[in-house]
A and B are shown apart, each in its own frame.
Chain A
Amino acid sequence: MSGLGARLIANGDAYAVVAFCGLLLAWACCSLRLRSGIGIRLRQIGLYRRLPQMAERATEAGIPVALYLSAGCQDLAGPETVASLSLYTYMSRQAARSDLAAPACLGNPVTLLLSLAALERSRQDPELKHLSAPGEILYWGSDPLAYATGAALAGRMVGQQARLLSGSGGPELLFASHAALAEGSTHPGPLGNPSGSALLSLTQNAEPRHGDAGITDVLEPPVESLPGEDLFAGEAYLHRPEAAASLLSEDYARWALVAIILIAVVLSSLGYGG
């Protein structure tokens, strides 16, 4: 680390405040820009593009989509929990529109409470009250492997053909949970990655026999996987486009960081900053 880096660390708190204010400012600008209707286009993210199509297919076939959300096993109330919840909120609304169940399999009690609220809200229409069925949302305990096991069992208990898996955690959690899922489900398994990932798949109901199908897909980096920060972008892409402002502000922050790093590297290479 160069002298400049050391200085940055030494005044970490101050710079953290500056960074936070900068992001807030960027967000404000982006919201205005978004409201003013100046053409902003977002990068395509496979999963968020296919999710609506999948919901449509599920409606056509009259078969609900089951979500497996392990995000937040490690941190009950972190932003990750909310991020993965937004996927469920979206799917539960789609399911309510087509009079389908919105089954989910969770590894985080806070997500459980939130998704119950989301389900209730998506079915405010009294006509939809008949949908609510016990066991629609299954919680399997916050131990990652317990969630994995439970997910496998849920795969056996619930016979949906369409599944969305959203995982978050160490590679063990993902490898284990989705390999375990394979054994109970028809087509499991996102790419194991440290920060959150999801796989969208619509497959035939092959007789579940063995776990290795899961890892195969874990090893097969799916187009739809959500490595890193994409997990936090679901809302903007799916049902709350105004949240796109925060994504765009992330971009500005990203390029600001790159610029700062490059300048600092040049300066320290030239011997400035000690």
Chain B
Amino acid sequence: MTLCPHCKKPNRDEATRCIWCGQSMAATPAEPPATPTNRVQDAAGERRPPPTDDPLAGLEGLLPAVPIPPAPRPARADGEPQPDEREIRDAELLRAIAIEPPPLEPPRPPRMVAQPLPPLRVRWMLYVLVIAAVLIPLISGGQLDGLIRPLPGQAALAESLADLVPEKPVLVAVDYGPSAAAELDAALNGALVQLEGASVQAVFLSTRPEGVDLARQALSRLEEAGTPPGAYCHLGYLAGDAAGLRLALTSLSAALGRAPEAGAAQEACPALLHASGIGEMGAVLVITDDGHVARRWVEQVGARTDAPLLIITTAASEPLLAPYAASGQVRALVSGAYGGLSAASQDPRRTLYSADGFVALWAALAGGFAWGLFGRRDKTERLKR
């Protein structure tokens, strides 16, 4: 194993040129940069004008400004590899189904990548805008919080939770990572408070590894709030993605095996003994920051059970799930950013979570946009344009 003198990547000892950067493995001082066409000429061995319909035509200039020596191929006993029968057949078929190229859009204009990033001065101004947007609630004190109209999903969520019967436990799927905790914790807490009001047992489960500890944190918050231990239990981590969900739908015990928390859960939640699978839960409440995970719950669980499927997700994933909410497959869809406001306002801990901050965020983004659009351009920029 030898390292390429140019890119420091590993190559086999017998390699004559680096398979990573294409340069010779012999440590030679870098030659002066060749012009793109020369480079293409060198590499290809002959000068070939780029075909006119080639969308990458004219992009040679964007190829690395390093000299690429003629690529010496390792000598093959049988010369160049001959295409086998199947390859030939495939090639013919490919030709047959490919239509003549329509006039393609011009290649990505070089200026897009050649354009320098915003100067440091500008970047820092933009950063200050963002930081100001985060800190603004310290001053404004959440003026807007009470004024924003709740999302339609919030009422639906409250109704669904109110309709629950104490006999059947509710499955709470904590499927988000710490990166979404700031957005989703408040909404989850709000839902848990409503669950407690309905005196329904909550069974926690995570199909994402990060969710397990977040579920534990939610449980400890319940403990702090004085919820009796019998009111909730934790099943731990359910692996297998869609297959795991499909299995857990009919048999939780098969899906979870004898996971550390599953045994204890059986004792903590007598109701679990009646529910052999997720399908027999009173309702399924999924809290996730990932539209795909939510879609998996809808497709694998929601479609197979009469239990209402309630989803709390991030603002970023909400649009992905809108059709499922519209079709009624998801009884209630709440996005965390605004959905958690009311719950957060009841949390005694101080926080910057406020609708004011969202307005400030918009102002910051709009400011950046307007500045970019109308800001004075220096001479070099004007020349580029």
Q: Are chains A and B touching directly in their complex (CB below 8 angstroms)?
A: yes
B327 touches A1 (CB 8 A): yes
Closest Cβ neighbor of B77 among chain A residues = A127
B64 contacts partner chain A, Cβ-Cβ < 8 Å: yes
B73 touches A201 (CB 8 A): no
B99 touches A41 (CB 8 A): yes
Main secondary structure of the interface of B (DSSP, over half): loop
Quick one: which of A34, A54, A74, A160 contacts B56, CB cutoff 8 A?
A54
**Given A130-B15, A133-B19, A170-B317: A159 touches B118 (CB 8 Å cut-off):** no
Residues of A within 8 A of B (CB-CB), count: 78
Quick one: which of B22, B90, B114 contacts A241, CB cutoff 8 A?
B90
- Pick the interface stretch among B156-164, B216-224, B253-261, B289-297: B289-297
Residues of B within 8 A of A (CB-CB), count: 75
B26 contacts partner chain A, Cβ-Cβ < 8 Å: no
**Please, which residues of chain A bring their CB within 8 A of the CB of B328?**
1
Closest Cβ neighbor of B294 among chain A residues = A170
Quick one: which of B43, B81, B303, B317 contacts A62, CB cutoff 8 A?
B43
Quick one: which of B43, B292, B316 contacts A60, CB cutoff 8 A?
B43
Interface residues of A (CB under 8 A from B): 1, 12, 34, 37, 39-44, 46, 49-50, 53-54, 57, 59-64, 74-78, 97-101, 103, 125, 127, 130-135, 143-145, 158-161, 168-173, 186-187, 194, 201-206, 209-210, 212-213, 216-217, 220, 222-223, 236, 239-242, 244
- A-B contacts besides A135-B10, A159-B7, 20 pairs, CB < 8 Å: A37-B96, A40-B97, A41-B97, A46-B105, A60-B40, A61-B39, A61-B63, A63-B68, A99-B71, A130-B12, A130-B15, A131-B19, A143-B210, A158-B7, A169-B291, A170-B316, A194-B319, A202-B62, A204-B114, A242-B93
Interface residues of B (CB under 8 A from A): 1, 7, 9-12, 14-15, 17, 19-23, 39-40, 43-44, 54-56, 59, 61-65, 68-69, 71, 73-74, 76-77, 81, 90, 93-94, 96-99, 101-102, 104-105, 108, 110, 112-114, 117-118, 123, 177, 179, 209-210, 241-243, 289-293, 296, 303, 314, 316-317, 319-320, 327-328
28 contacts between A and B (CB under 8 A): A37-B96, A42-B97, A49-B101, A50-B55, A57-B59, A59-B71, A60-B44, A62-B17, A62-B22, A64-B20, A75-B241, A97-B81, A99-B73, A100-B22, A101-B20, A133-B11, A143-B210, A159-B9, A170-B292, A170-B314, A173-B290, A202-B59, A202-B62, A204-B64, A223-B104, A223-B105, A240-B90, A241-B90
